[in-house]
Amino acid sequence: MDAELTALAVSGATTLVQLMAGDAWAMARDRVRALFGRDRPGQTQTADAELEEARAAVVVAANSDDRAALAEIESRWRARLLLLLREDPAAEAELRALLATVGHSSEQGTTVHNTVSGGDIRGPVIQAGTIEGDLHFG
């Protein structure tokens, strides 16, 4: 069970830092704050302040391509998430739901299966999560 919680904390921290670095943070911030403030009076405000401080540090580190600083921030949130998951079993479902909402699977070994049907199909097929830059065929 501890290995599963650790894997979830790792996934959660990675996603959290990625969210903080991008535009999706505005969408996820309230849910993350609620996750850390769950059933703990006064913790929501504390979590909000800590999250905003971390976000500012992430933005600075991301803009300067400081991978060591990003790794340190991620490590701190990994530890915080693991502690939260150990103290509050209900937080596991909430974190999994948050990760699913932002499009990151917290499960290891996810497999994608595609089926192409409906006739004779010719031409390139591209499967990608994100494509940056130009695509050229031929």
Looking at per-residue pLDDT, the higher value among 68 and 112 belongs to 68
pLDDT of residue 131: 63
Global confidence as pTM? 0.69
Per-residue model confidence as pLDDT tens digits over 72-123: 999 999 999 999 999 888 899 999 999 988 864 334 444 555 566 667 767 6
Domain boundaries, the chain: 2-101
| CA 129 – CA 131 distance, rounded (Å) | 7
Residues 6 or more apart whose CB falls under 8 angstroms from that of 71 comprise none
What's residue 125's pLDDT? Answer: 63
pLDDT at 85: 93
Instruction: For 5-43, give the secondary structure using H, E and C.
Output: HHHHHHHHHHHHHHHHHCCCHHHHHHHHHHHHHCCCCCH
Predicted confidence at residue 3, as pLDDT, reads 86
**How wide is the angle at C-alpha 95 spanned by C-alphas 90 and 96, nearest 5°?**
100
Task: For residue 129, give the nearest of 93, 106, 105 by alpha carbon.
Answer: 105
- pLDDT digit string (tens) for 16-45? 999 999 888 888 888 888 888 876 667 777
| Region 123-136 average pLDDT | 65
The pLDDT of residue 117 is: 64
